[in-house]
Structures are given as C-alpha cells and as structure tokens.
Structure 1
Amino acid sequence: MKNNYKIIAILGVFLLTGITEITAQTKTTKKVVTKQVTKKESIKRVPTSKVVYKTPKSKTVTVRTLPNKTIVKNNGQNYYYSNNKYYTYSQGHYVNIMPKVGFRIQTLAPNYKKVNYQNHIYFQSQGMFYVQIGNEYEVVDPEIGTIVYELPSDYEKVTINGQTYYEYGNILYEKIQDNGTRAYEVVGFIDAN
C-alpha cells in the first residue's frame, strides 16, 4: 500500500510539473506586443507667425551677373532664369526667388520629375510644382498628400506647435517611409503675409 502512495505521489508531482510547464508556455505564447503609430495630421495653411525656423534668418542669395540667362516675362514683370533658378533684378543685383502660384513658362527645366497623385499629374522641378495648361506650365500648390522622394538641398527645418516639418517654397512636408524608401509628404502650406 505504501508503494501505491509513493507511485501516486510521484505521478502527482510529474503531473503538476507538466501542467506548470504547459501554463508557462501558454502565457509566453499569448504575449502580444502592440506598437502605436501616430501620424501627424495635415496642417493645411498656417500663418508665418506660427512657424519657427531652425535658422532664424533666411539667407537671401544675390549675384551681380547671371551666366546664360533667359528672360521670362510673366504678368508684365521680367524674371531671369539661369542655372535652374529664377531671379528678379533689384538695385544692381539678381535676387533668387520662387515664382508664385500662377507663374507660367513655355518649357520645363530638363531635370523635372513627373509626380502622379490621385487624378493629378504634376511636373516638379527645383521644389516647384507645375501643371500643364495647353502648351504652357503653370506653378501650382500641390494637393495635400502628394509624395516626393527628395527635396531641394536648401530646404529648411521648421517647427509648428512642437512638430518638426520640412519647408521649401512655403510648402510643408513631413518625412515618411513609402514602401521602405524615405519620402516627403505634402502636409500644408505657409501663408506668407
């Protein structure tokens, strides 16, 4: 009889050990790791007073001469095109500028990229977005959500309400990953006063 109790006790220990191991395995396999991904909302239009630039003063690029310049007339004003940039002439210097929405040209720079977003086809060159209208190309604001894969080298980092964005030509971008590739999504615009 004593042997039966010993056998039952040993079986009980083995059985409890087995249950403990199964329970431990079950607990570890049920562990779920959740990762919350937060996406900044588009900010649409924001006044310049709400924008904090990493570099407080913008660097105005001026030159005395432009090699191989082309004169582009738009709305009665002369613009000068050279080295894939636009300039105006003021007090003996050429000042680098970004053409405003509505500016039209006949020919795009040879380094433009075609950008498709929803039903829009944009032509992007030097940070500017164009749409084709007849035989001309007009500068436009891109739709929010438009994605590009590189920004011009002289973009600026800005902060709005504690969030960091990238700005070029008053267009605000957020850095994102698109199928494993770094990209920039249009999230808003700065209203220049």
Structure 2
Amino acid sequence: MKLFLKTYGIAALLLVSFTAQTTAQSRRSTNNKVVVKKTVSRRIPSTRVTYKKKQRKVVAVRNLPNRTVVRNNGQNYYYANNRFYTQSRGRYIVIAPKIGFRIKVLPTNYRKIRFNNRNYYTANGVFYIQINNEYEVVDPEIGTIVYELPEDYEKVVIDNQTYYEYANIIYEKIQVDGTRAYEVIGIVEMK
C-alpha cells in the first residue's frame, strides 16, 4: 500500500510539474511586437544622418511667465510650459537638456517606462533616471519603447532608411499589439 501511494504521489507530482512547465512556456510567446529590419547601431556618427528638412525650426519667445530657474553646471536653464529654455540675445529658446543635467522635480507631463529592470522617466523626448533625490538626464537603452514623440521631432535618413530623431535619439516606428510605437535604435554622436 505504501509503495502504491508513493508511486501514485510521484506520478501526480510529475504530471503537475510538466503541466505547469508547459503553461509557463506557452505564456512567453504572447508578445505581438513587430520588428522592422535594423540597419542602425547604438552610436551613429552625425555625418551618416541626413535631415529631411535642411533648416531646423528654432522656437524663441520674448518672455516666459511663471518660469522656474534651474542652475546646472554654472549655467541657467529656464523651465516653463513643460519645456526647458536657454536665454540667447534677449530671447528664450527651447532646448532639450543634455546628458548629466539634473533636476529635483520631474516635468508635470512625465511618463514612467520600465525597461531591462530599470525605471526611466520621459517627458518631451528627454529620458531621466532617479539618483537619490534627483533626476538625471540619460541616453535611453537601445530597445526602449515610447508611444509618442515630441511634436518637434525630425525625420532623418540613415542608409536610405527613414527614422525619427529628437534630442540626438534615433527612433524607428513599430507596432506593439496593434498600436503605433517608437523604439530607440541609436544615438547620434555629435563631433
């Protein structure tokens, strides 16, 4: 009787483990991401990037009501209307903060993105990570996916393929579960 119970118990345990393993394996393949052929590597020399518009539109305003001054590396930046600005010749010009720029509070329109076990925060095409009580501007990892680009992104051509660029980050348009998205595929290296 004991032998029968042991045999029956082991058989039941094996049956349950094989069933659980099969179920776990079948769940992995639920990602419906459609990936288009990649021709771009992580760092792209700026000489390989051709902008579709020859002149980049520079947005400048005379004054910024309700602005917040953010000092970084000895330079003043101004935050207003969910954007960062720098001052030049009496006007304020929209800019994307550079890598290493730190702020204490994220812009109000930020979104949290989790990729490779890391939390990114993105707002207006700029990626941040949290370091202690501050947020630092960083380059996102290749493969990071966002669902919208800032309105002033640029179309670029690299190796006869059209991509999208904002703040030196190259994106490729993809589909994720039937929804349009943009995947980070490279960073423009400025000389």
Classify the TM-score, shorter chain: 0.7 to 0.9
Using structure 1 for the length normalisation, give the TM-score: 0.78
Deviates more, 1:87-96 or 1:103-112: 87-96
1:150 aligns with 2:148: yes
Map residues 128-139 of structure 1 onto 2, 5 A cutoff: 128-139=126-137
SS at match of 2:47: helix
Structure 2 residue ranges without an equivalent (≥5): 1-34
Kept in 2: contact 1:41–1:187 (CA 8 A) = no
Deviates more, 1:159-168 or 1:47-56: 47-56
Kept in 2: contact 1:85–1:96 (CA 8 A) = yes
Question: Which residue number corresponds to residue 166 of structure 1?
Answer: 164
AA aligned to 1:63 is V
Kept in 2: contact 1:42–1:144 (CA 8 A) = no
* RMSD, matched Cα: 1.2
1:75 aligns with 2:37: no
CA apart distance, 1:81: 0.6
1:180 to 171, 178, 183: 178
Instruction: Give the Cα–Cα distance (whole angstroms) in 2 for the partners of residues 105 and 158 of structure 1.
Output: 30
Task: Tell me the matched-pair count.
Answer: 157
Question: Which residue number corresponds to residue 83 of structure 2?
Answer: 85
Instruction: Give the Cα–Cα distance (whole angstroms) in 1 for the partners of residues 45 and 72 of structure 2.
Output: 27
AA aligned to 1:100 is K
Map residues 106-121 of structure 1 onto 2, 5 A cutoff: 106-121=104-119
Map residues 9-158 of structure 1 onto 2, 5 A cutoff: 39-158=37-156
Deviations 1:118-167 (Å, cap 9, x if unpaired)?
Answer: 11110000100000000000000000000111111111110001011010
SS at match of 1:102: coil
Larger radius of gyration: 1
Structure 1 residue ranges without an equivalent (≥5): 1-36
Instruction: Give the Cα–Cα distance (whole angstroms) in 2 for the partners of residues 105 and 77 of structure 1.
Output: 13
Instruction: Give the Cα–Cα distance (whole angstroms) in 2 for the partners of residues 38 and 62 of structure 1.
Output: 37
CA apart distance, 1:181: 1.1
Q: Percent identity?
A: 61
Kept in 1: contact 2:69–2:76 (CA 8 A) = yes
Give the ranges of 4+ consecutive aligned residues of structure 1 lying more than 2 Å apart after TM superposition: none
Instruction: Give the Cα–Cα distance (whole angstroms) in 2 for the partners of residues 178 and 86 of structure 1.
Output: 30
Using structure 2 for the length normalisation, give the TM-score: 0.79
Kept in 1: contact 2:36–2:174 (CA 8 A) = no
Kept in 1: contact 2:50–2:156 (CA 8 A) = yes
